[in-house]
Amino acid sequence: MSVSRCGWVKLSDPVYVAYHDEEWGKPLHNDRDLFELFCLETQSAGLSWLTVLKKREGYREAFDGFDLSAVALYTDEDIDRILRGGGVIKSRPKIEAIVSNAKGFLEIQQEFGSLDNYFWGKVDGNPIINDVSDYKTAACTSEISEKVTKELKKRGFKFIGSTTLYAFMQASGMVNDHENGCVCKNG
């Protein structure tokens, strides 16, 4: 029996299929998971998401399982260690952005109580369900992603743009952009 999935899924890659079926678009509310996903989305700038996805375990190992408080305390020595090790994309500016953004997220947690409150507050706590007949015609930004990107940039966040933020919103379930015929659209 054939299962209908979004057209962007590379059916020949089991990692991609599992990501689509089990993670993409499922609402995330755990701060650690939101921090990890945000960091990984920023790493994909200029690269395919699959490249980053296949390095996710390396990032988890390099960044203490994306423990926000630990990452916010990283020093230049920690950044050098990460760049010397394997398993991550070897871009000093991108690695530095994770550390810098962690510090910004600690401030957001203090101000809003959690990353969950901050991000999900932007969509009134409920996923935005879009009518997507073909992923090729789906939006890649929104008014919300534009607004939040500006807010985050004012806070000093790096490697973030409206397209990256929208991808984060899709992946974290804040926006449901599964194609209408996809098995995951309503579940």
Q: Which of 49, 61, 135, 151 is catalytic?
A: 49
Cβ-based neighbour number of residue 3 at 10 Å: 10
Which amino acid, residue 130? Answer: N
Q: Which of 41, 74, 118, 166 is catalytic?
A: 41
Contact 60, 36 (CB under 8 A): yes
* Residue from 5, 65, 3 nearest 30 by CA: 65
Q: What is the distance between the alpha carbons of residues 53 and 139, in angstroms, rounded to a whole number?
A: 22
Q: Which of 19, 118, 120, 166 is catalytic?
A: 19
Answer yes or no: 41 catalytic: yes
**CB within 8 A of 184, min separation 6: which ones?**
5, 6, 20, 21, 24, 25, 178
Answer yes or no: 8 catalytic: no
Answer yes or no: 120 catalytic: no
End-to-end Cα distance, the chain:
19
* Residue from 186, 142, 187 nearest 168 by CA: 142
**CB within 8 A of 23, min separation 6: which ones?**
171
Give the residue numbers annotated as catalytic, written as ranges.
19, 41, 49
